[in-house]
Structure 1
Amino acid sequence: NNLPDLKCFHLQYDCLSDTYDRQILPILRRMSNIEALNLHLTIDKQTKFIDGKHMYNEIIVHMSRLRAFNFYFCTFIRLNQSTQNFSNDDILQTFPNMICQKADCMIQYRCFNVKYHLFSLPFMFDYLSFIDNTFPNIIFNHVIRLVLDDGIAFEHEFFMRIASSFPLLKVLHVLNHMPQSPMLNKINSNDNQLYLPVIEYPYLHSLDLELAHHDYAEQFLNDRKVHLPHLTKLTVYYHDLKIVTRNFTNSRTRFNCMKVKQLNLCCKTSIHSEDFYAYFPSL
């Protein structure tokens, strides 16, 4: 049955490829009179690229009254012998003008799958996931929650780009087990040899480093690298925290910890020193 009275529809959902094919697409095709559609989908175990042709043939052709279509697809495509090797231009050339005014994409071929983002511009959603070093130079004015994920290290310059591209960022989750450049870390940690600008995250209040190398705890907590005036929630391994704070005595990492009210410590100890509590006076 169609849904003739439905004029606007917003869906933000994480699912498997089978759910997208068997449940989400059939529902969308019933929205014959829809005028505004917002889709924010993360799809795992996908077997093919979602491109402009797919969206037109599988979705838009069933919506004759559609006037506004904002979309974000983050898909993980299984690599096999039949997987085609597409470039960004290959994907963007599949878009007829009727789908959206402008779109962009990111494609990262990894050893076991392809991480693929496809989105309309301007980006109208508040959440963006699994961004890596290859993200384009676009200002995402609406994004307040962000997940970073890569098998290549995130260096200081990358986080400068993040601060510039996501000016209203409030919640950040870092997934990266690769250490940063040893030379940059050594130089930038020396108060007398600083040459990299301090990065400002004026609205960031939640930082999750549970699945990140301890270099990223140093990157974010060292106030010579990053300024976090409103950080109130921190998730980090206790061992990593002890390293970067020098057992809660390092003055360079004290400022960014002062306002933390919720500290989620992974593999924590139940015994804390006086220095620990002095380091986190807002707990």
Structure 2
Amino acid sequence: MSYLERLDLYIQFGNNTTIIDGNYLKRKIINANTLRNLQEFRFSITSRISSPVQLNLPSTKDIEQTFTHFKSKNIISCVDYFPERKEGQYHIYSYPYETKYYNDITNKFPGGIYEYVREVSLFDEKPFEHEFFLQIQKSFPFMEILSVKNKKAQNHKESNENLSLIQYSFLRELHIYNVHDDYIEEFLSDKKTSLSRNVNLNIKYESLERVTNNFTREDTRINCRKVDKLYVCKGSKRCNFLEEYFPSAKIIERSRF
């Protein structure tokens, strides 16, 4: 391994007690001889660490400085703290980013273009606003699978006239079963979003019923007609108008998501 000239490293640590940064890699994974010969280092490292207070967490600048001896031109890092979970999250990676997955994106997402990414997941304890989703669509133009987890209501529900329509041209799977109703409206209203045809939708039936006003709402009808497969929880008491509202969809019950 001492003569290695290129190294691709993609790792994720959960429930960790140590921050995985450049210093850790030099101590535990990449020895000094390898580091001297290394000409190209592409990586993505995500680590989560329990911390009762945010003040104990290092800054993005602190983490990036630990990679100064690595052969990577552009390094991007994100540091988040989730007070409800009492957990810190670190994601540091070389850019351009060449993996197919980008997980647990928060409101601190730094932007950029990620043309290799096909699967994206979003999570935060703070609300996602419409402009955030617009940025996600622009940053991941070939995204095929999107999962959203956010229980916080949006703060800025602007009038429809002021919104830029978001088009998800390649999206084939949308998972919005663990979200506030605002995000269901965000994706189903044709005033805010244009879904691709033949998309698979994973959602809680009760939330869907509320947002569509018992399957009578007009501005959510167009996107619902584009759904190819609708996944709902098994045992949900279904309205007679569900099939009419999703005329192209095969409705599939799942025991859990």
Q: TM-score range by the shorter chain?
A: 0.7 to 0.9
- The answer to whether residue 69 in structure 2 is matched with residue 100 in structure 1 is no
Q: Is the 8 A contact 1:56 1:99 kept in 2?
A: no
Q: Structure 1: which 4+ aligned runs deviate by more than 6 Å?
A: none
Name the counterpart of 2:91. 117
- The answer to whether residue 120 in structure 2 is matched with residue 146 in structure 1 is yes
How big is the shift at 1:137?
2.1
Pick closer, same or farther for the CA change 1:268–1:220 going to 2, 3 Å. farther
Q: Is the 8 A contact 2:45 2:91 kept in 1?
A: yes
Name the counterpart of 1:244. 211
How big is the shift at 1:72?
1.1
Name the counterpart of 1:155. 129
> Which letter maps to 1:134?
K
Structure 1 vs Structure 2 CA RMSD? 2.2
Structure 1 residues 79-102: Cα deviation after superposition (integer angstroms, max 9, x where no partner):
158x84311111111212433122
- The answer to whether residue 53 in structure 2 is matched with residue 87 in structure 1 is no
> Which letter maps to 2:76?
D
TM-score, normalization by structure 1: 0.79
SS in 1 for 2:121: strand
Question: Alignment length, in residue pairs?
Answer: 245
Pick closer, same or farther for the CA change 1:118–1:222 going to 2, 3 Å. same
Structure 1 residues 231-255: Cα deviation after superposition (integer angstroms, max 9, x where no partner):
5211111011111212112221111
Unmatched 5+ stretches in structure 1? 1-30, 189-193
Work out the CA distance in 2 between the residues paired with 1:110 and 1:178: 13
Work out the CA distance in 2 between the residues paired with 1:214 and 1:266: 16
Unmatched 5+ stretches in structure 2? 251-257
Q: Is the 8 A contact 1:237 1:267 kept in 2?
A: no
Work out the CA distance in 1 between the residues paired with 2:188 and 2:106: 21
How big is the shift at 1:270?
5.0
Name the counterpart of 1:207. 174
Q: Is the 8 A contact 1:209 1:216 kept in 2?
A: yes
TM-score, normalization by structure 2: 0.87
> Which letter maps to 1:180?
Q
- The equivalent position to 2:26 in structure 1, one of 43, 56, 74, is 56
Pick closer, same or farther for the CA change 1:271–1:238 going to 2, 3 Å. closer
- The equivalent position to 1:229 in structure 2, one of 180, 196, 199, is 196
Pick closer, same or farther for the CA change 1:261–1:57 going to 2, 3 Å. same
How big is the shift at 1:195?
1.1
- The equivalent position to 1:279 in structure 2, one of 242, 245, 252, is 245
Name the counterpart of 1:184. 157
Pick closer, same or farther for the CA change 1:268–1:165 going to 2, 3 Å. farther
Structure 1 residues 221-277: Cα deviation after superposition (integer angstroms, max 9, x where no partner):
00100111235211111011111212112221111122322211136535441x311
